[in-house]
Amino acid sequence: MTQAIVLSKDGETFKAEVRAISEAELEAATPGDDVVVAVEYSTINYKDGLALTNTSPVVRKWPMVAGIDAAGTVAASGNSRWKPGDKVVINGWGLGETHWGGLSQRARLKGDWLVRVPAQFSTRDAMAIGTAGYTAALSVLALRAHGVEPSQGEILVTGATGGVGSMAVALLASLGYAVVASTGKAAEADYLRSLGAKEIIDRATLSAPGKPLQKERWAGAVDSVGGATLANVCAQTRWGGTVAACGLAGGMDFPATVAPFILRSVTLAGVDSVMAPMTRREAAWHLVATHLSAAQLATITREIPLAGAFDAARDILAGRVRGRIVVDVNR
């Protein structure tokens, strides 16, 4: 039997619990999947918080094993890419939404979804990075693909103390960018500077409705907030700059105008981590492996047991989480 966090719904009654699932249940829920992974670690992302608290309709199929991330060791494989003992990581592909996910001691997955854990990282490190770090890497790659270079000026990171934000600050700083971190947590200024931020600004300067065009400042930005914050970031981006939009912690709306795009040639680059093709995934993991150290990951991360995921879910939605949360699914 495998211990897992199972989400279920009966009418309007929602239930989230740690319970045992059998191999037969797991196989029935994941027909056709060709790799069995002994999961060692998972993590809690913002989307996991929404799913575990039933705050937003993340889950599309019931019952559902929660968790959009997993890292572990291949236990059995019918896929030529993988053999028992391989260390693998998975992010997205509908895990925890339409496919049984990673907050479980065992997972059956499609081999074509898996990425090899970089040699210098453990499976715990891979989940310290998780979807948040992988998404941050995709966002940094989007800026670079649109020609944003360190010499061009400051890069803004919103939601900077969150998982995506923390990882984005660290990655950008390691690449030589001058990073300005936006946060509502003034007490975390030293933490952000330790990751490489050159300046800290109050998120309140970006969260209220603003003018369609504002004073130009940012050569680029990574935004995980959305809403009025994203609109203001675009309005403050310099001519030819790029904003990578990858989150909605502040809302799904986008109360902006076309002015930054048609008068300043600003690019708004959308970043989706769930269905990104393998070439982008591998590029993102290569970037992380090249520019993040285990020491930095330790600064960003704390670890909890499987049953601690419920409190962590509430904390991440309430903005009480700094950096990353790793879940040891075997304790």
Residue from 131, 144, 145, 161 nearest 58 by CA: 131
> How far, CA to CA in Å, does 149 sit from each of 234, 242, 291, 307, 310?
18, 11, 16, 43, 41
Q: Which pTM was predicted? A: 0.93
Instruction: Say which residues have a Cβ less than 8 Å from residue 46's Cβ, sequence separation at least 6.
Output: 162, 163, 247, 249, 316, 317
pLDDT tens-digit series, residues 199-237? 999 999 999 999 999 999 999 999 999 999 999 999 999
Show the DSSP H helices in the chain as ranges.
23-29, 46-53, 123-145, 163-174, 189-195, 204-207, 227-236, 259-263, 278-291, 294-300, 309-317
Identical fold for domains 2-117+295-328 and 131-270, yes or no, is no
Which value, to the nearest 10 degrees, does the dihedral of the CA atoms of residues 194, 197, 203, 204 take?
100
Residues 6+ apart with CB under 8 A from 106: 2, 4, 23, 26, 36, 37, 38, 39, 75
- What is residue 318's predicted lDDT score, i.e. its pLDDT? 92
Contact partners, residue 252, CB within 8 Å, separation at least 6: 226, 227
pLDDT number for residue 90 = 97
Dihedral sign from CA coordinates of 66, 70, 76, 77: positive
Overall fold of domain 2-117+295-328: Quinone Oxidoreductase; Chain A, domain 1 (3.90.180)
Mean pLDDT of 124-131: 95
Q: Of 168, 184, 90, 183, whose CA–CA distance to 132 is shortest?
A: 168
Write the pLDDT tens digit of every residue in 230-276.
999 999 999 999 999 999 988 899 999 999 999 999 999 999 999 99
**Under 8 Å CB-to-CB from 2, ≥6 apart: which residues?**
20, 21, 22, 23, 26, 104, 105, 106
Rounded mean pLDDT of 115-132? 95
pLDDT bracket for residue 71 (50, 70, 90)? very high
**Coil/strand/helix, residue 211:** coil
Q: Where are the domains of the chain?
A: 2-117+295-328, 131-270
Residue 21 has pLDDT above 90, yes or no: yes
How far is Cα 184 from Cα 263, in angstroms, rounded to an integer? 31
- Average of pLDDT values for 35-41? 98
Strand-pair partners of 223: 245
Q: Are 39 and 104 in contact (CB under 8 A)?
A: yes
Instruction: Work out the pLDDT band at 1, boundaries 50, 70, 90.
Output: confident
At residue 82's C-alpha, the angle toward residues 21 and 275, to 5°, is: 75
Q: Per-residue confidence at 298, pLDDT binned at 50, 70, 90?
A: confident
- Which strands sit side by side in the sheet containing 218-223, from one edge to the other? 199-202, 178-183, 154-157, 218-223, 237-245, 267-270
Homologous superfamily in CATH for domain 131-270: NAD(P)-binding Rossmann-like Domain (3.40.50.720)
Residue 199 and residue 155: Cα distance in Å, rounded? 10
Q: Residue 39 in contact with residue 66, Cβ under 8 Å? A: no
